[in-house]
Amino acid sequence: MYLLQNWFNLSDEGVEDAVYDSYAFRKFMRVDFTGNEQVPDATTLCKFRKQLDDNGITRLFFDLMKEFLDKHGKLMHGGTIVDATIIEAPSSTKNAEGKRDPEMHQVKKGNEWHFGERMHIGADAGTGYIHSVEVASANVNERDFVPNLVREDDYVVYGDAGHCGIEKREEIKTDRHLSQIDWRINSQKPYRKNKWEPGPGIYWHRYFEYRKSRIRSKVEYPFFVIKCIFGYRKVRYRGLKKNRTQAYTLCALANLYMLVRSGRLGVGC
Question: Which residues neighbour 46 within 8 Å (Cβ) at sequence distance 6 or greater?
Answer: 12
Q: How far apart are CA 58 and CA 49, in angstroms?
A: 10
Write the pLDDT tens digit of every residue in 55-102.
Answer: 999 999 999 999 999 999 999 999 999 999 999 999 888 878 888 899
Model confidence at 198, pLDDT cuts 50, 70, 90, reads low
> Tell me, what DSSP letter sits at residue 161?
G
Q: Is the residue at 67 inside a domain?
A: no
The answer, as to whether pTM is greater than 0.75, is: yes
Q: Is the residue at 104 inside a domain?
A: yes
Number of domains composing the chain: 2
Q: How far apart are CA 122 and CA 24, in angstroms?
A: 33
The reply to whether 107 and 220 lie within a common domain is yes
pLDDT of 229 above 60: yes
The reply to whether 223 and 97 lie within a common domain is yes
Half-sphere exposure of 237 (CA within 13 A, CB side): 15
The reply to whether 194 and 88 lie within a common domain is yes
The reply to whether 241 and 110 lie within a common domain is yes
Q: Is the residue at 64 inside a domain?
A: no
Q: In terms of DSSP bridges, do strands 105-109 and 182-185 run parallel, antiparallel, or are they unpaired?
A: unpaired
The reply to whether 171 and 242 lie within a common domain is yes
The reply to whether 138 and 249 lie within a common domain is yes
- CB atoms inside a 10 Å sphere around CB 32: 10
Q: How far apart are CA 196 and CA 199, in angstroms?
A: 9
The reply to whether 120 and 214 lie within a common domain is yes
Write the pLDDT tens digit of every residue in 140-197.
Answer: 999 999 999 999 999 999 999 889 889 999 999 999 999 999 999 998 765 445 555 5
Average pLDDT over the chain, rounded to whole? Answer: 90
What does the angle CA 212 – CA 146 – CA 238 come to, to the nearest 5 degrees?
120
pLDDT value, residue 151: 95
Domain that holds residue 30: 1-55
Q: Is the residue at 9 inside a domain?
A: yes
The reply to whether 158 and 241 lie within a common domain is yes
pLDDT value, residue 267: 41
